[in-house]
Structure 1
């Protein structure tokens, strides 16, 4: 299933729903992903300052992937570098 995510809160909600669908507790998910339970709590709450590497590990453990769509392929046309 594809879910459009635009906020950290939406990401947290989607990951919580996936965890519950898999009948995992927060401690079980934390152990499987190699993160602390506090990280899972913060992630599911939509905390915006979490480490991306750990977020990716949680997504992987839940069986998901991260896809980025609709970005321009050549960002140098849209932004000036070094200015």
Structure 2
């Protein structure tokens, strides 16, 4: 496996919500209409996933991707 950030906010959110709902990754995949591999990659923090599919999963939990303001310090750390 590649060195993905398993602790990114989206990966942790989806993993936590899925576990709170006592669902397997396969069940989440079936209920959201995305592939099992996509769910696994999402929960493991793969950095380059399709945003429409990420939103499919997030919408299941009542959330969506949105632009968020970041601090100047965070921006500097990103190299922007």
TM-score (norm 1): 0.67
Q: CA RMSD in A?
A: 2.0
C-alpha distance in 2, partners of 1:38/1:48?
14
Q: Unmatched 5+ residue regions in structure 1?
A: 1-7, 72-83
Match of 2:77 in 1: none
Structure 1, residues 57-79: CA drift from partner, whole Å, max 9, x if none? 000112223343437xxxxxxxx
- Alignment partner, residue 10 of structure 2: 11
Structure 2: 5+ residue stretches without partners? 1-6, 71-80
Runs of 4+ with >4 A deviation: none
Partner of 1:31: 30
Work out the CA distance in 2 between the residues paired with 1:42 and 1:70: 26
